[in-house]
Structure 1
């Protein structure tokens, strides 16, 4: 689905204003270490991550669309990231769930849940 591709592209812009264009006003993010319930909290989390992982590239692999309707889309995928922490190359993977809703003919992300892969 194009909306996920747009979201990944916005994430890789490292400009929260690009992500914000795709966020529902009531968006909630579940990160491994924090829940963010406002755009301000989400922005702070993203900007901190971009500061820690320099030149980060984020990708969605093995995308599975679990639910598709005229008003809602839900997918799971394996996320992959790579970049530099303290000038050392690093990369990692985890699980992601994204829920999009359609409002005023635009798909908006209302929920994202990221977690580590099971051991």
Structure 2
């Protein structure tokens, strides 16, 4: 019996040790949301691959360089505090063992003139494994239309 329980424990630990590409990608998006909410510019920028592409919520250009992404979040995360970012619903497609696309709807809150603002949006993350790390290689967010 002891051998059986040990075997079950071993199988369970191996199964949880490697969750899979989808779960790994969602962990990156979860870290992104926490860094956004906590206003941690370095933490959020470090989630992006050096060659990542990004279009912010009201972006009028594709950001292609780490310094552009840093500048975007330096402004975004240091205004209208406190802020939150919550992924309300999403779907994920595993492209291969090292690439996952996550699309969904989110809610971003902020504070303007002492009043809470709420912005519903559409968001896409492409998360890819670079070396041993999962990183954002593409992100796009746009406001949800009013109608």
Alignment partners' CA distance in 2, 1:114 and 1:18: 19
Dislocated runs of 4+, deviation >3 Å: none
Q: What is the CA–CA distance in structure 2 between the aligned matches of 1:67 and 1:2, rounded to whole Å?
A: 14
Q: Deviations over 1:70-98 (max 9, x none)?
A: 11010101110112012221111110000
Shift of 1:40: 1.3
* Two-structure CA RMSD over aligned residues (Å): 1.5
Larger mean CA deviation between 106-115 and 84-93 belongs to: 84-93
Say if 2:68 is the partner of 1:41. Answer: yes
Q: Which has the higher strand share?
A: 1
* TM-score for both structures, normalised by structure 2: 0.74
* Unpaired stretches in structure 2, ≥5 consecutive residues: 1-25
Greater Cα offset, 81-90 or 91-100: 81-90
Which residue of the partner structure matches residue 62 of structure 1? 89
Shift of 1:33: 2.6
Distance apart, 1:11 and its partner CA: 2.0
Tell me which protein shows more helix as a share of its residues: 2
Does residue 3 of structure 1 match 2:20? Answer: no
CA distance in 1 between partners of 2:86 and 2:113 (Å): 21
Alignment of 1:1-119 (within 5 A): 1-31=26-56, 32-34=58-60, 35-118=62-145, 119=147
- The Cα shift of 1:50 comes to 2.3
Is there any run of 5+ residues in structure 1 with no aligned partner, and where?
none
Work out which of the two has the higher radius of gyration on C-alpha atoms and give 1 or 2. 2
3-state SS of paired residue (2:78):
helix
State the partner residue of 2:8: none
Of residues 40-49 and 70-79 in structure 1, the stretch that sits farther from structure 2 once superposed is 40-49
| Equivalent pairs, count | 119
Deviates more, 1:21-30 or 1:47-56: 47-56
Per-residue deviation, 1:58: 0.7
